[in-house]
Structure 1
C-alpha cells in the first residue's frame, strides 16, 4: 500500500472515530437532559422554608382536628398574615427579573407529560382585586402548552392593574385581554368580560381543546393531567349547571334592567320574549366547554340574537350559558326535558358551598369551615378533606387574606400529586 493509501485509510479511521465520539456525546447529552428533566423534586412545594409550612397539610387534608384547629389559630394572627402576604408592589419588584420570578415561584417550565402537551387548554380569568389570589391560581393551573387570557376590571385599583401586567409580562402564553370592561355585579358586563377573552383565545390558537372560565378567587381541585383526562371523558361535550328556571327568578329576564351608579336596577318595562322561541334555563356563571361550542357562540346568528337580547337582563351569566347548553344544534347540547337537568353538584365545572344548602345529614354540603360572603362559603382548612372527595375540577371561593393555609395545602397537595403521577406514566 502506498503512502497515499495509508493516508486515506488513516483519514477514514479518524473520521469514524470522530463520528462515534460525537454520537456518544449526543446520546449522553440526551440521557443527561432526560434525567434532569425527569428529576421534578425541585418543583415540589415541600421544604420551601415558607411561613405557611408550619402546619402539616397532609394531616389537615385527612381531617386531623388538632392540626386543623392549630391552622385556624395561626391564620388569625397578625404576624402570620403579614409574613404570608405578598403586596402588589412586591409582585412588581419580583417580576423585574422574569426568569428568577418563574424559578423562585416554581412555575412549570415544561409539560409534565406528552398527553398534556397534546391537549392544550384555554382559560379566561376575570380579576378585580386580590393579586396574590390571582397569582397563586395562575401558578396552580399554569402549563406552557395552555393559554391564559386575563380580564382585569377597569375599575380595579391602579396597583392591581400594574401588578397583574407585571406578572403577565413574564409569560408568552399569558396575556391581558385587549378589550376590558367595567364589571358591575349581576350586569351584562360579567358575561362580556368572558366573551372578550373567549374571542381572543379562539383566534389566538387553533389547537386548544376546551375553554374554562375562572375568577380570581377560584382554585383547582385537580392537576392539569387530571383535568385533561376528565375533559377527554366528555367526548366533545360540555359541563355546566343547567336546570329549569325557578319561578321566582323569571323577573330577571322578563323585565328590562338598567345599570345606575354601579348597581343593576329592575324597571317596570317588560322585555320582548326571547328570540327564536328559545327557552331560558337557570345555571351558573362558570362552564367547561369545547372549542366547537366556543366557535358556535362566536359565529351562530341565533346565539348572537340571544346575546343582544340578554344585555339588559339581571345576572345573565346565570342563565345564558345554561340556556345555550339546551339549544338544539349547539355542539354538545343536552335535551331540554327536566330529566336532563344538571345541578351544580353534577357538573364538574365548579364546586360552590351555598349557605342555604349547608347542614348535616341530608343537606347538600357539610357546614362551611370558613366564612360566608354573599351566601357563599369562603373555604377554610377544615373544608379541604370534603372538597377533595368531590368530582369537580375547581372550587370557589378562596381568600389568601382570610385563610392562606387552605390555599397552601391545596397547592402542596396538587403539585406533589402532579409530580408523583409522572413517575407512573
Structure 2
C-alpha cells in the first residue's frame, strides 16, 4: 500500500505534468513556424552545430531531392577523343535494291566508320540472304568487322511511321555495338556520295561534334491541311506485306503542347541527339513517336519536331540535309531521278550526297570516275588504302587525303554554320 507521503507526491507530479505537456506542444509549434518563415536556419545548418541531428543521416546522403526529370550535364569532351571523327551509317533498301545498296556501300566504305545495312521485309528472302553472304565473304569487311546486316527485316513504308521506327532501330544497334562514333547518317540504296569519305572526314574534323544537319521549317503550308490534320493508319505496322495507308475520321486539330516542323527525311545527326532520341530522358521522343504514328510522311517531320522542341538542341541545328535533291514545286512524294544533265548542279550545291538515282546509270559512272576516283566496283580510295590492287589492305585508318570535294563541302558547311550562329534555327 502507498503511504500518505507517496500519495501526495503522486498528486503533485500529476498537477505539473499537464502544463508541461501543453508547453512542449506550443514550443514545437513555434519552432516549426520559425523554420517555415525562415527565422531560424534550416535543419541541415543546425546539423553542423548539433551533431545529434545527424544521427540518422548518412554522411554521404544528400538532403536535396532528386527528381526523375532533372537534367544532367554531359561529361566534358575528353581530350583523348581521336581528332578524326567517325560516321555511323544506315543504308536501307527494298525489293530489287540489293545491287544498288551494294554499290552505294562500296562507294561509301571506310574502315574507320560503321555501317548498318537493311533490306526491308518486301525484299525477297534470297536478296537478304545474298546481302549477308556478300558481307560475310568480303575480305575487308571480315577483317575490319564494321559492316552489320539487320537479320530480322522490318516493314518500311515511306508514307507511314515504319521508316522512322527502322531508323531508330538502326540507331539503337549502333549505340549498343559501338561507343566511338560521332555522327549518324541515314541513306537509301538510291543515294550516292558526291565526295569521298576522306573529304567528309577532313571537313567534319574541323567542326564541333554537336552540330545536327536537319533540313526543317516551322511553316507547314499545305502540309498543315493535307498531312498534319488528317488521321491515317499504316498497315505496315501490323501486316507483312506493303499496302497503302488508309484514312480515318475525324481530323485532329494542330497540337498546342509542341510545335510541328517538317523537312527532309535524310539527315546527319550528332551522337548526343541520337542518344536523346533513343533514351528520351524527358519522354518527348516517345510522345512524338506516338503522335507521328498517324501522320502522313512522318519521316519528314519526326526528327525535326523533336529537335526543335528541345531548347538544349536548338542551337545545334543546321538547316540542311547534306543532299542534292531535285524536287517539283510543291514537292511530290518522290524527287526527280537524276541523270548526267544534273551533274553541274550537283557539284555547285557542294552537298555530300545526292538522290535519287536509278541502278547502274551513266551518271553514277561519271561520279565514280570524276569525283570519287573509283573504278571497277572497288572501294573509294583514301589515305587508309594500301596493297595491290589499291585498297585491298588497310593502312593507317585515321590518315585522310582530302580532294576537291572537301573544298566544295567546306564552303557549304562554313556558310551553313555562319547562318546557324546567327540564330536562324527552328523557325
What TM-score do the two structures reach when normalised by structure 1?
Answer: 0.61
Deviation at 1:350, TM superposition (A): 1.5
1:311 aligns with 2:293: yes
d(CA) in 2 for partners of 1:161, 1:326:
36
Match of 2:199 in 1: 226
Equivalent positions of 1:9-158 (< 5 A) are 118-128=84-94, 129-158=96-125
1:250 aligns with 2:224: yes
Deviation at 1:154, TM superposition (A): 0.7
Equivalent positions of 1:328-343 (< 5 A) are 328-331=310-313, 333=315, 342=319
d(CA) in 2 for partners of 1:374, 1:310:
17
Larger Rg: 2
1:385 aligns with 2:358: no
Is the 1:199–1:298 contact (alpha carbons within 8 Å) kept by the matching residues of 2? yes
| Aligned partner of residue 213 in structure 1, secondary structure | strand
Match of 2:51 in 1: none
Is the 1:116–1:225 contact (alpha carbons within 8 Å) kept by the matching residues of 2? no
| Aligned partner of residue 214 in structure 1, secondary structure | strand
Answer 1 or 2: which has greater helix percent. Answer: 1
Q: Could you give the per-residue CA deviations for residues 229-281 of structure 1, whole angstroms, max 9, x where no partner exists? A: 3334541211121012323212423232112571112222334754x811001
Is the 1:185–1:264 contact (alpha carbons within 8 Å) kept by the matching residues of 2? no
Q: Could you give the per-residue CA deviations for residues 92-140 of structure 1, whole angstroms, max 9, x where no partner exists? A: xxxxxxxxxxxxxxxxxxxxxxx99942210011111322211110001
Q: 1:173 aligns with which of 146, 153, 161?
A: 146
Q: Which shifted more, 127-136 or 223-232?
A: 223-232
Is the 1:126–1:193 contact (alpha carbons within 8 Å) kept by the matching residues of 2? no
Q: Could you give the per-residue CA deviations for residues 158-186 of structure 1, whole angstroms, max 9, x where no partner exists? A: 33222222222232211122553211230
RMSD between aligned alpha carbons? 2.9
Match of 1:302 in 2: 284
Deviation at 1:194, TM superposition (A): 0.8
Deviation at 1:295, TM superposition (A): 0.4
Q: Which shifted more, 378-387 or 326-335?
A: 326-335
Equivalent positions of 1:176-191 (< 5 A) are 176-191=149-164
Q: 2:234 aligns with which of 243, 259, 263?
A: 259
Deviation at 1:213, TM superposition (A): 0.3
Q: Which shifted more, 135-144 or 318-327?
A: 318-327
Is the 1:153–1:182 contact (alpha carbons within 8 Å) kept by the matching residues of 2? yes
Runs of at least 5 residues in structure 2 that lack an aligned partner in the other structure: 1-80, 236-241, 375-379, 384-399, 404-427
Runs of at least 5 residues in structure 1 that lack an aligned partner in the other structure: 1-114, 359-372
Match of 1:408 in 2: 365
Match of 1:399 in 2: 358
Q: 1:238 aligns with which of 212, 219, 226?
A: 212
| Aligned partner of residue 367 in structure 2, secondary structure | helix
Q: Could you give the per-residue CA deviations for residues 32-81 of structure 1, whole angstroms, max 9, x where no partner exists? A: xxxxxxxxxxxxxxxxxxxxxxxxxxxxxxxxxxxxxxxxxxxxxxxxxx
- Cα 1:292–1:420 change in 2 (3 A) is closer
d(CA) in 1 for partners of 2:86, 2:357:
26
Answer 1 or 2: which has greater strand percent. Answer: 1
Deviation at 1:348, TM superposition (A): 4.5
Aligned residues: 285
- Cα 1:158–1:331 change in 2 (3 A) is same
Deviation at 1:312, TM superposition (A): 1.8
d(CA) in 1 for partners of 2:195, 2:100:
17
What TM-score do the two structures reach when normalised by structure 2?
Answer: 0.61
Match of 2:259 in 1: 279
- Cα 1:203–1:375 change in 2 (3 A) is closer
- Cα 1:297–1:333 change in 2 (3 A) is farther
Match of 2:170 in 1: 197
- Cα 1:116–1:398 change in 2 (3 A) is farther
